[in-house]
Structure 1
Amino acid sequence: MASVFLYLLSLLLFPLFSSAQTYRNITLGTSLSTNDRNPYWASPSGEFSFGFYPIQDVFMLAIWYEKIAVESIIWTANGGNTVESGSKIELTSDGVLSLSTPNGTQIWKVESMDSIGATSAAMLDTGNFVLSSDESAIKWASFDIPTDTIVPTQILNPLGKLSARLTQNDYSQGRFELILQGDGNLVLYQKARPMGDNYDGYWDTATTNGSQLIFNQSGYIYLSLGSSNTSRISLTTTTQVSPTQFYHRATLDFDGVLRHYTYPKNSTGGRWRQSWSVSEYVPSNICTAFGGSVLGSGVCGFNSYCKLDDNQRPQCNCPPGYTYLDSNNTFNGCKQDFLPQTCGTSDGFEMREILTTNWPTSDYGRFTSVTEDWCRQTCLDDCFCAAAVLGGGTCWLKKFPLSNGKTDATADKALIKVGKPQLVLNNRNNSCKKDRDNLILPGRFS
């Protein structure tokens, strides 16, 4: 009974903890430049900062954990795009928060959501940056438009969403989104770039009455059900490390996984490692989460396959005869390292094996009760066949590009069609010749 009482009391006090924050007013006409010695506004406790975060030789207008050296950004402005040295953020005389380039061109702004303008701004100790009126009413808040992260005391309301960044180091909008839909279902989607349309969902709570996704001040994350806030679906375990000892954040990472992270505020005599640790995450296996979705590439790009590493993070691999499109971004897919097959001949091609691997959304043919040799030769003779997968005496033919690749214990093996060494060599020579033909000779703060 006592535990129930404490839980109900925490729910009643939650709005109080969220709003009763001390802050330092940022007055109209105040500005920051990337050239300032300290180009940021800190919260009263110094836990959070809003301003220009240095990334190599450019800057990101962002909010971050001030006392953590790595992976500390929790919110970004300007669509996650960086700005050059000399850029400025200003709370203008008419209450507009305006980001401008060194030549004075405005590239991003926020302002009051109603006719009563903002008269000050503040970086709160919760990590929320706000614009307020003379009556201290909040007119705009970063908590209301999160990017890829939420922190304790933050709430995601219906139609609220998190959008993953593109890569680990590129904060522009990526390929995955978490949204609390109007129908009450909390869903993870793969997105179509560059337009941003949603493909099929790959994880959800299967709810019809979800009202808020709450990250409370005790470090628990749960989906509140209905309007009474007495029923919920928990996204975290019943035991959490205290926010008084650990920083918390929940981030929809660029690989499509929603992870709850903690970071010790003090080393406590070496007991805790000074780094972000994963407490929980959904889905449990991102490689297999996409099921039968026929659109998109899956977590890894086209012509690659996904396998979990020792830390349960997805690792994208190229099949034999393929190389990464971008060696700096292995999630971007793979390309053939040989010339395409000419229909009517299989000369110059062979089949290579990969065990327990499948591309389940690339099927265009299925044959039962056949041998491996039959499956191998059929794909080899078919110019539309990029690969074949064998399992339980069944042969599936796969078309190009291969999509949603993953390790799959139900598949005996995959047979990949590749060019023989001479064909690969010719393709590389042709590429080198094109490069020579196109060659033109030449005439952060700390």
Structure 2
Amino acid sequence: MEILLIFKKKKKATGVVDLMVFEELYSSHYALHIGVAFIQQWQKFLSPGDAVAMRSQSYSSLSSTLFLIVISVCFSLASSRNPNILPRGSSLSVEHDSDLLISADNTFTCGFCSVGENAYCFSIWFTNSKEKTVAWMANRDKPVNGKGSRVSLQQDGAFVLKDVDGSTTWETNTSSTDVQKAELLDNGNLVLMDSSGKILWQSFDFPTDTLLPQQLFTKSKKLISKLRGGNYATGYFHFLFDNDNVLRLMYDGPDVSSVYWPNIDTNVFTNGRTNFNSTRIAILDDMGRFFSSDWMQFNASDSGSGIKRRLTMDHDGNLRLYSLNNGTGLWTVSWKAVMQQCLVHGLCGRNGMCIYAPEPKCSCPPGYEMDDPSNWNKGCKPRFTRSCSHSQQVRFVKIQHADFYGFDSSSLTNISLESCQTKCLEDCRCQAFGYKLSGDAKCYIKIELFNGHQSASFPSDIYLKLPLSIETSEPIVLNDTNRICNSSESTITIGASSSMYGAGGKRVRWVYLYSFASVIGAIEMLFIMSSWWLLFRRRDVHAVVEEGYRVISSQFMKFTYIELKKATKNFREELGQGASGAVFKGVLEDERVVAVKKLENAYQMEEVFRAEVSTIGKINHMNLVRMWGFCSESRHRLLVYEYVENKSLDKLLFAENILGWKERFKIALGSAKGLAYLHHECLEWVIHCDVKPENILLDGDFEPKISDFGLAKLSQRGRKNSEFSRIRGTKGYMAPEWALNLPITAKVDVYGYGVVILELVKGIRLSNWVEEDGEGQETELTRFVRVIKGKGQGEETAWIEDAVDTRLNGQFSRIQAAKMIEIGISCVEEDRNKRPTMDSIVQALMECEDVSRI
């Protein structure tokens, strides 16, 4: 206050005061705690005209004593500021090493990180790591100058990084918002907040190559590796949710893109994942446990609290979970995705090959040499000129236990080595061929050489197509290099953890260690997951996280026969009877009402049956009945489903009580969505095979839920001499190809759906037989289609009235009815190739969903 009085006296004497010193100090983080309040109090002594004058003039006679007092006050205030907060109007300079934000618990530091000679990136790093380990970068691909660059939280709310020339290198999208401060939180999240503490922007939404504990990983985010060990620029390896909702590792290089994890040789479910959950959310918790909506789960080998961790997409293409040793400041690996490093795609560039010698190294195959000795991303180049001329003589050089994944122009089975070689010779594009003798002999014609690797456990060989003039040593030895394929940034120690790939490698002595570690890790994970799940139910977390955890922790249970017998009161209340068995109502111990189906024709052994129903249990869609569990004991095979209130469609559609038109259209659209999910977004083999009103259940809101999907597989798999074509649906809803013993495709479901949608329109069973006008009989369906085709050729729409259920008394949408009839008739075409697909049916129905005219 004394300083303000002095300023007041000076103002009265001269009419001007120089504010430049205060503005400069206030813009520096040393004066952050002077605050807006101090400036506002000071400006109370000034008129608006004086303020303008003060900006345009300098008070040359301001005493040095007063100046020193002001500076002293500013620095004393700065010394007490919160080091993890940057107020609006402040900045951090690249030139001042002390211009930093440090989290309250000292775990993370935010500031400028050197990424090269006179090159800096605004970053967040772990404070106590021996090497400066970066967790996030704002401008990884556009470093700024080491002189004059600064990041500022501007008065308009934007957080802006400017280079020495004043050009904007990076900024947030928060201009014109009420941002009051930037704060570095204890979890490593840099946030911009308003005056009420609401987060308006956060670094957690824009990860680079690292995921930190409690940082949500969703469909819009990806981890992208840096380019090389010392180069922080964006690299080629990605960790992301793929289009099918599954977490994957992918190489996205200058020439090609290729997924390599989880195991590309098996399907989603064999890898322990599901692609039926479109939530796309994952999280790493503080205990070192990772959970995802695609059912990817793993534990750190040192699982427990109090350890700083990071999940990083490394520059060598492997995804690793690291734990920090606070004593040494070094990182150890507590989990990694790919156990055999050479399985990473794109690691050694075009024509390059990853080998174990014994550590993974990049090499060039015979006839090739490194394109750029300083950069393996560019791979190898041929030491010869490719030619399609018949005059060029070629030979084939064999590399044992090797492969170049992908780029097969053709794949041939049961073919001899000589024939495979001939195929390559006849194809000018062929650069090599792979030949696998184990099992059915297979031949792969390679037109490009990417993703090369060699491993003693690989079951096939590569034959390189080289000009006869190119000399190679015998036996074939790949050109050795010093390139190590795996990351060398930290001390790597693998603990007791499991991988999505099976343990393997060239050195046999590790097999036993990995096997033992995997078993111990699995047992530990079982106990940890059980205890964590119980604890988590009592936690009150953010709604989004809670929903994500709820989705990914849903359980598929195995029940005992005694449990289900008790739940159904000795199978007292029967809900229905079908070809696969009877359904009974039950109440579980947790008070869930369920429907229990006793299967009559499930022939599998227990482990096979369990594998089948576990796959079905992972299928999740609002228009499919949810399976909650099963029982497989002795001769008993039971399935436990959610209970659906309004029972099946046939009970309402063909009853005296009239089902309204809005409900009918809703059932038609929902059923189509459920089947489309099974056909187009689900496993290829999930064909229902018995679509009929009895298998379409209705909940309290008349939302349809298709039941009994997948049961065709349960009934026929494992049966002696069984063939899928022998399965039969229900008479009246069976496609013609059943009788013709043609291969069964999803079009059999389309046919059944066509009958159902026409029954929804007409309100009667179209599968019943009726007398023809002449001699003989025909089904109601045949006659209905024949009559409609005869009447519906012209522009008149009167035929619609005759086609729709008369009990509706004209209360229906003509547009929707016409569309449903059109779809139904196209679905029951005898030629299955003329039938539409279920996804096209959904699209057609949705186009008239909002039609309200009756």
Query: How do 1:126-137 and structure 2 match up within 5 A?
Result: 126-137=187-198
Q: Deviations over 1:3-44 (max 9, x none)?
A: xxxxxxxxxxxxxxxxxxx97321122222222133432222
The residue matched to 2:239 in structure 1 has which SS?
Answer: strand
Query: How do 1:249-398 and structure 2 match up within 5 A?
Result: 249-267=310-328, 275-285=330-340, 287-288=342-343, 298-307=346-355, 315-347=361-393, 349-364=394-409, 366=412, 368-371=414-417, 379=424, 383-392=428-437, 394=441, 396=443, 398=445
Query: How do 1:396-415 and structure 2 match up within 5 A?
Result: 396=443, 398-407=445-454, 409=457, 411-415=459-463
Given the superposition, is the C-alpha separation of residues 116 and 94 from structure 1 closer, same or farther in structure 2, using an over 3 Å criterion?
closer
Q: Deviations over 1:181-217 (max 9, x none)?
A: 68754343443649xx976574363243355312212
Counterpart residue number, 1:31 = 91
Deviation, structure 1 residue 299: 4.4
Bigger shift: residues 103-112 or 335-344:
335-344
From 234, 238, 241, the equivalent of 2:297 is 234
Aligned-residue RMSD, C-alpha: 3.4
Gaps of 5+ in 1: 1-21, 226-231, 268-273, 290-296, 425-446
From 122, 138, 157, the equivalent of 1:95 is 157
Within the alignment, does 1:208 sit opposite 2:276 as a pair?
A: yes
Tell me, in whole angstroms, the C-alpha distance in 2 between the residues paired with 1:405 and 1:74: 31
Counterpart residue number, 2:130 = 69
Given the superposition, is the C-alpha separation of residues 344 and 71 from structure 1 closer, same or farther in structure 2, using an over 3 Å criterion?
farther
Counterpart residue number, 1:45 = 105
Q: Which amino acid aligns with 1:275?
A: L
Tell me, in whole angstroms, the C-alpha distance in 2 between the residues paired with 1:317 and 1:362: 20
Q: Which amino acid aligns with 1:236?
A: N
Counterpart residue number, 1:5 = none
Q: Which amino acid aligns with 1:134?
A: S
Aligned 8 A contact 1:100 1:106 in 2: yes
Q: Deviations over 1:127-182 (max 9, x none)?
A: 11111111121111111221111112222234333223333333333333333468
Tell me, in whole angstroms, the C-alpha distance in 2 between the residues paired with 1:385 and 1:241: 49
Between Structure 1 and Structure 2, the one with more helix by share is 2
Tell me, in whole angstroms, the C-alpha distance in 2 between the residues paired with 1:343 and 1:367: 29
The residue matched to 1:154 in structure 2 has which SS?
Answer: coil
Deviation, structure 1 residue 420: 5.8
Between Structure 1 and Structure 2, the one with more strand by share is 1
Aligned 8 A contact 1:23 1:125 in 2: no
Within the alignment, does 1:85 sit opposite 2:140 as a pair?
A: no
Tell me, in whole angstroms, the C-alpha distance in 2 between the residues paired with 1:319 and 1:252: 28
Tell me, in whole angstroms, the C-alpha distance in 2 between the residues paired with 1:184 and 1:371: 40
Aligned 8 A contact 1:47 1:67 in 2: yes
Aligned 8 A contact 2:323 2:332 in 1: yes
Aligned 8 A contact 1:61 1:77 in 2: yes
Aligned 8 A contact 1:190 1:200 in 2: yes
Given the superposition, is the C-alpha separation of residues 335 and 106 from structure 1 closer, same or farther in structure 2, using an over 3 Å criterion?
same
Aligned 8 A contact 1:307 1:315 in 2: yes
Deviation, structure 1 residue 234: 2.2
Given the superposition, is the C-alpha separation of residues 53 and 309 from structure 1 closer, same or farther in structure 2, using an over 3 Å criterion?
farther
Larger RCO (alpha carbons 8 Å, 6+ apart): 1
Tell me, in whole angstroms, the C-alpha distance in 2 between the residues paired with 1:37 and 1:159: 35
Q: Which amino acid aligns with 1:222?
A: F
Bigger shift: residues 198-207 or 152-161:
198-207
Aligned 8 A contact 2:154 2:160 in 1: yes
Deviation, structure 1 residue 106: 0.8
Q: Deviations over 1:301-321 (max 9, x none)?
A: 22123346767xx64332111
Tell me, in whole angstroms, the C-alpha distance in 2 between the residues paired with 1:80 and 1:55: 10
Tell me the TM-score normalized by structure 1. Answer: 0.72
Given the superposition, is the C-alpha separation of residues 255 and 37 from structure 1 closer, same or farther in structure 2, using an over 3 Å criterion?
closer
Tell me, in whole angstroms, the C-alpha distance in 2 between the residues paired with 1:396 and 1:96: 59
The residue matched to 1:143 in structure 2 has which SS?
Answer: helix
Identical residues among aligned pairs (%): 26
Bigger shift: residues 274-283 or 119-128:
274-283
Within the alignment, does 1:223 sit opposite 2:223 as a pair?
A: no
Aligned 8 A contact 2:415 2:443 in 1: no
Counterpart residue number, 1:429 = none
Deviation, structure 1 residue 241: 4.2
Aligned 8 A contact 2:241 2:247 in 1: yes
Q: Deviations over 1:339-372 (max 9, x none)?
A: 223511234x543331111224233354854356
The residue matched to 2:274 in structure 1 has which SS?
Answer: coil
Given the superposition, is the C-alpha separation of residues 359 and 90 from structure 1 closer, same or farther in structure 2, using an over 3 Å criterion?
same
From 159, 169, 180, the equivalent of 1:107 is 169
Tell me, in whole angstroms, the C-alpha distance in 2 between the residues paired with 1:80 and 1:127: 21
Aligned 8 A contact 1:167 1:329 in 2: no
Tell me, in whole angstroms, the C-alpha distance in 2 between the residues paired with 1:398 and 1:201: 20
Given the superposition, is the C-alpha separation of residues 251 and 36 from structure 1 closer, same or farther in structure 2, using an over 3 Å criterion?
same
Given the superposition, is the C-alpha separation of residues 240 and 49 from structure 1 closer, same or farther in structure 2, using an over 3 Å criterion?
same
Given the superposition, is the C-alpha separation of residues 164 and 345 from structure 1 closer, same or farther in structure 2, using an over 3 Å criterion?
same
Aligned 8 A contact 2:115 2:232 in 1: no
Aligned 8 A contact 2:384 2:470 in 1: no
Given the superposition, is the C-alpha separation of residues 301 and 29 from structure 1 closer, same or farther in structure 2, using an over 3 Å criterion?
same
Gaps of 5+ in 2: 1-81, 263-267, 473-854
The residue matched to 1:78 in structure 2 has which SS?
Answer: coil
Q: Which amino acid aligns with 1:401?
A: E
Aligned length: 375
Deviation, structure 1 residue 109: 0.2
